Amino acid sequence: MDLEKLFKPKSIAVVGISKKNPLSPGRIILLKNVFEMDVKVFGIYPGGGEIEGIRLYNRLDELPEIPDLLVIALEPNATLEYVQDCAELGIPSSVIIGGGFAEIGGKGKKRQEKLQKIAFENDIALLGPNCLGVYAPPRVDTIFLPTERITRPKKGSVALISQSGGVLVDMFFEKFHERNIGVSTAVSIGNRAVVDEVMLLEYFSQVDQETSNIAFYLEGFKEGKSRDFLQLAKESEDTVIVYYGGKTREGKVATQSHTASLAGNYNIIYNALRQHLIIQPHSETELLTSLKVYDVLSQRRNPFGNNVVTYGNVAIISVSGGHAVLASDMLKKYGLNAVRFSPQEKRHLKSLVNPTAKEIASFNNPIDLTGSVLDTDIEDVIRYLSDVERIECIIVLLLPYPPNISFQIGRRIANIVTSKNKPVVCFIPYVSKYSLIIESLELANIPVFHSIKETVQAVSALKHRTRINNLKKGNLSWE
């Protein structure tokens, strides 16, 4: 089944527009595609007329061309009729917004079977029902939530596939924006009557050129599809990540009323995914941290060159002793080790630092440059550590509170990282007045995080990805 028309349509039609209710899903979808997206849009309204200056067509067969995609925002029986029209007119893809299908059981299940029959017999790439559909910038956006209510993430390398529309727009869109992570295409799969996780994994890993990382929120696998999914994931050159909802008995009860998924035994699922080299974050934070790191690594200007984090050997630079302690406390849990400095290295480090800080700073690992730090101290220490080969990654805990840290510090660090290619991950507090520092690092694709834990998690994610890449290439076997 060809998904290209679903995600990169040249023209779309929308049906289910209310003339009375400006908040009706069909009307919101029509207007956001006309005003905000880069696609030819036709509105369908029995009786015709116009809305907000946009001409409405009476019927699908009156359109001047066959659209690539039909978005249907109607009650279930009318939905079925329009899907039948797609078959007759040769419309190759459709997004079904409305519910009233398998998720309500009984007659809803029968309706969904009809939907599947028409779609599979006529090769229609049908997404949904009971979903938000597709956000595929710059072309199409079928999310019926008003754009001003949600947050659109920037364009990037991550394809998002979610069994929950709420999770898609909140946990992904909103938090991606907050963390500056980029999305290639986002898909809300709803009941996945036709287009399912296997087809999407195949499309994004084998067809779509914009995607290098594929992240799923799933509440269970579609029946009979898990084996294909696992095999595809293992063979994929992209990073495949699954965040799973319904891990516990309590969560499973909730999925049954949500998407009628049979969540299965999570332990079995966890092990199967792990053996197929699928990354499974343990928390929302870890999910977002990993995706941020992987998105950065997929950029054209990868700041770390071919340097990778294999064993998790790190050096920590801090300007706050407490932050250094708390970061050190987390290393082991995340599979990382603090490199030991030789007495000679410590002496050298000390010689790099300004006279006031020198007396009170600590040159073990973690290095604490204290509140008496200058920009040049941080610069010189990072430059020196970048040349120490056994250090694979430098963690910089950069609080810009000490009076002598300037607004140039981000650019200064970026210059060194760009020339040395040693992986560097930064912690900077999430405060708008420091966005100049944060931006100067992120423009150079150096990932910045806003808690100690996320910073440590990010280095762990770098190590994890090296490991998975090696396992996929057969350079490494399971221990």
Per CB under 8 A, the segment of 41-49, 78-86, 267-275, 278-286 that binds a second copy is 278-286
Residues 8 and 136: beta-carbon distance below 8 Å = yes
**Rounded to an integer, what distance in angstroms lies between the CA atom of residue 159 and that of residue 38?**
19
- By CB under 8 A, the residues from 123 to 142 that bind a second copy are 130
**Rounded to an integer, what distance in angstroms lies between the CA atom of residue 134 and that of residue 149?**
17
Binder to a second copy among 144, 204, 221, 449 (CB under 8 A)? 144
Contact call for residue 78 and a second copy (CB under 8 A): no
Contact call for residue 159 and a second copy (CB under 8 A): no
The nearest distance, CB 399 to a second copy, in angstroms, is 5
The amino acid present at 80, given as its one-letter code, is: L
Cβ proximity to a second copy, 28 vs 126, nearer residue: 28
Nearest 5°: CA angle at 193, between 99 and 257? 50
- By CB under 8 A, the residues from 399 to 428 that bind a second copy are 399-404
Contact call for residue 162 and a second copy (CB under 8 A): yes
Read off φ and ψ for residue 198, nearest 5 degrees: -70, -45
Burial class (CB in 10 A: 0-12, 13-18, 19+), 131: buried
**Rounded to an integer, what distance in angstroms lies between the CA atom of residue 119 and that of residue 206?**
23
CA distances from 283 to 217, 237, 273, 428, 464 (A): 12, 24, 16, 21, 16
CA distances from 41 to 11, 61, 64 (A): 6, 15, 11
Cβ proximity to a second copy, 207 vs 325, nearer residue: 325
The nearest distance, CB 290 to a second copy, in angstroms, is 16
Contact call for residue 167 and a second copy (CB under 8 A): yes
**Rounded to an integer, what distance in angstroms lies between the CA atom of residue 432 and that of residue 173?**
20
Read off φ and ψ for residue 182, nearest 5 degrees: -105, 145
Per CB under 8 A, the segment of 48-56, 62-70, 255-263, 301-309 that binds a second copy is 255-263
Residues 103 and 259: beta-carbon distance below 8 Å = yes
- By CB under 8 A, the residues from 212 to 251 that bind a second copy are 217, 219, 245-251
- By CB under 8 A, the residues from 6 to 65 that bind a second copy are 23, 28
Cβ proximity to a second copy, 15 vs 428, nearer residue: 428
Contact call for residue 171 and a second copy (CB under 8 A): yes
- By CB under 8 A, the residues from 287 to 346 that bind a second copy are 318-326, 328-329, 331-332, 338
Residues 46 and 58: beta-carbon distance below 8 Å = yes
Contact call for residue 207 and a second copy (CB under 8 A): no
Per CB under 8 A, the segment of 31-39, 198-206, 281-289, 436-444 that binds a second copy is 281-289
Cβ proximity to a second copy, 67 vs 190, nearer residue: 190
The nearest distance, CB 329 to a second copy, in angstroms, is 3
- By CB under 8 A, the residues from 368 to 397 that bind a second copy are 368, 370-371
Per CB under 8 A, the segment of 168-176, 204-212, 274-282, 383-391 that binds a second copy is 168-176
The nearest distance, CB 344 to a second copy, in angstroms, is 18
Binder to a second copy among 66, 150, 308, 471 (CB under 8 A)? 150
Residues binding a second copy: what is the number (CB under 8 A)?
78
Residues 341 and 316: beta-carbon distance below 8 Å = no
Site string for a second copy, 86-125 (x = CB under 8 A): -------------xx--xx---------------------
Helix (H, G, I), strand (E, B) or coil at 216: strand
Binder to a second copy among 12, 126, 140, 169 (CB under 8 A)? 169
**Rounded to an integer, what distance in angstroms lies between the CA atom of residue 474 and that of residue 479?**
13
Contact call for residue 253 and a second copy (CB under 8 A): yes
Cβ proximity to a second copy, 18 vs 418, nearer residue: 18
Residues 116 and 84: beta-carbon distance below 8 Å = no
**Rounded to an integer, what distance in angstroms lies between the CA atom of residue 210 and that of residue 185?**
9
The nearest distance, CB 247 to a second copy, in angstroms, is 5
Q: Which of 12, 47, 219 is nearest to 130 (CA)?
A: 219
